Amino acid sequence: MKKAIITGITGQDGAYLAELLLKKGYEVHGIKRRSSLFNTGRIDRFYEDPHVPHRHMILHYGDLTDSTNLIRIIQEVQPDEIYNLAAMSHVHVSFETPEYTANADGLGTLRILEAVRLLGLTQKTRIYQASTSELYGLVQAVPQSETTPFYPRSPYAVAKLYAYWITVNYREAYNMFACNGILFNHESPLRGETFVTRKITRAVAKIALGLQDTLYLGNLDARRDWGHAKDYVEGMWRILQQEKPEDFVLATGVTTPIRDFVQMAFAEIGVRVGFRGTGEAEEGYVIENNGGYHVPEGKVVVKVDARYYRPTEVDLLIGDATKAKEKLGWTPTYTLGEMVTEMVAADLELFKREQLLKEQGFRVNNEYE
């Protein structure tokens, strides 16, 4: 039975990847941070209690900023594969916490590579590094592929640039099987609530149910190449099954402005949204409502709030995943439309459940005084 360690197992990708590896018969070891609240909501579905004999999924407390702890876990597990997904992954927040981001996202990767080297596992353990399309930053050329120059535009991206190159360096210096997946944005119903797609689908669901009035967003002009996380974790696994360690772009090749994502999400509840005005004065309003929800025509549902602008922005991402298609046989299976449908439906269900609980007199979200 193969053993894999997943750092960041409690995150969006960690959850989908753990499920995939369990299905493939792996023993999965997840590293999770201690938190004052449970942070295992995304993996509870397939989590196994420590009292279950012959478990296939085991959680370890750990943190990418603590090398002794990483060395101990890697020594204990002797993994065949490590997927380094843990990171302070929010681009905007990285401007507020640049030093921590460099530590966790940049040096954290070094700590994993160095642990594997010090433990003499260089010829046993394969390492996947979660690199990102944010490396391309200020547009140099499109579509972006493995050979497009990098120009990072945030503390997050700069930290990930270090992680990218230290992975390449350890591969070349110590003959390690260490690979970068340069993944373009990927989303799902499990996406963190403050990333733009999930922020939009949650707001659409809440506006439909009368639980929210307005959705405040930042730059509506930015364009992203959005895929589905389920497809992308399959790509991560394939990257580590190659004969030779190499770096790969995973992307859909389709780019969409934030504004269009908003319109697609509202269309899911039968509401057609139009935009008027420019810059900070731009707003989205209801042109037509053919759905069953009470969202009156003319109502302003989207406003721009400059607090969500970033000091430096990545304007356009569109990926070229030809290499992954040719060498890994990887192509995305979800269209953006299918993903938006799934995300809005999931958030509608979430908030309908919350509404029902409230109507029945139950507290939700720890509403204690």
Residue type, 2: K
Residue 28 CB coordination number (10 Å): 28
User: Which of 10, 185, 188, 255 is in the footprint of ligand GDR by CB under 6 A?
Assistant: 185
User: How far apart are the C-alpha atoms of 343 and 204, rounded to whole Å?
Assistant: 10
The question of whether 338 is a catalytic residue gets the answer no
The question of whether 216 is a catalytic residue gets the answer no
159-177 burial code (b ≥16 CB/10 A, e <16): bbbbbbbbbbebbeeeebb
Q: Which H or E run contains 300?
A: strand 300-304
Interior CA angle at 187 toward 183 and 190, to 5°?
125
Q: At 83, list the tokens.
A: 């997927």
Residue 284's Cβ-side half-sphere holds a number of Cα atoms within 13 Å equal to 27
In this structure, the dihedral spanned by the alpha carbons of residues 216, 218, 220 and 226, taken in order and rounded to 10 degrees, is -100
Only one of the segments 30-38, 57-65, 84-92, 238-246 lies at the binding site for ligand GDR (rule: CB under 6 A); that segment is 84-92
Binding residue count for ligand GDR, defined by CB under 6 A:
22
Residue number, 126 or 186, with CB nearest to ligand NDP = 186
Partner touching 224 among ligand NDP, ligand GDR, none, CB below 5 to 8 Å by kind: ligand GDR
User: How far apart are the C-alpha atoms of 130 and 189, rounded to whole Å?
Assistant: 20
Letters for 187-226 (x = contact with ligand NDP by CB under 6 A, - = none) are -----x----------------------------------
Place of tokens 């995305």: 332
User: Which of 4, 5, 12, 70 is in the footprint of ligand NDP by CB under 6 A?
Assistant: 12
Site for ligand NDP in 171-190 (CB under 6 A): 183, 185-186
Instruction: Name every residue whose Cβ is closer than 8 Å to that of residue 341 and which is 6 or more positions away in sequence.
Output: 268
CB of 164 to ligand GDR, least distance (A): 11
Nearest to 233 by CA among 32, 4, 1: 4
Nearest to 125 by CA among 112, 106, 110, 108: 112
Letters for 118-137 (x = contact with ligand NDP by CB under 6 A, - = none) are ------------x-x-----
Q: At 269, list the tokens.
A: 């509840």
User: Which of 10, 129, 133, 289 is in the footprint of ligand GDR by CB under 6 A?
Assistant: 133
CB of 55 to ligand NDP, least distance (A): 20
User: How far apart are the C-alpha atoms of 313 and 24, rounded to whole Å?
Assistant: 39
Only one of the segments 47-55, 216-224, 287-295, 345-353 lies at the binding site for ligand GDR (rule: CB under 6 A); that segment is 216-224
Residue number, 10 or 154, with CB nearest to ligand NDP = 10
The question of whether 132 is a catalytic residue gets the answer yes
3 burial type by CB count under 10 A (0-12 exposed, 13-18 middle, 19+ buried)? middle
Q: Considering 132, 148, 167, 252, which one is annotated as catalytic?
A: 132
Residue number, 62 or 218, with CB nearest to ligand GDR = 218
Q: Considering 27, 134, 187, 234, which one is annotated as catalytic?
A: 134
User: How far apart are the C-alpha atoms of 126 and 4, rounded to whole Å?
Assistant: 9
Residue number, 134 or 268, with CB nearest to ligand GDR = 134
Q: Considering 16, 128, 156, 170, which one is annotated as catalytic?
A: 156
Nearest residue to the partner ligand NDP, using Cβ: 11
Binding site for ligand NDP (CB under 6 A): 7-8, 10-14, 33, 35, 39, 63-65, 85-89, 104, 130, 132, 183, 185-186, 192
Binding site for ligand GDR (CB under 6 A): 89, 91-92, 132-134, 184-185, 194-196, 199, 217-219, 222, 224, 258, 308, 310, 313-314
Q: So which residues are the catalytic ones?
A: 132, 134, 156
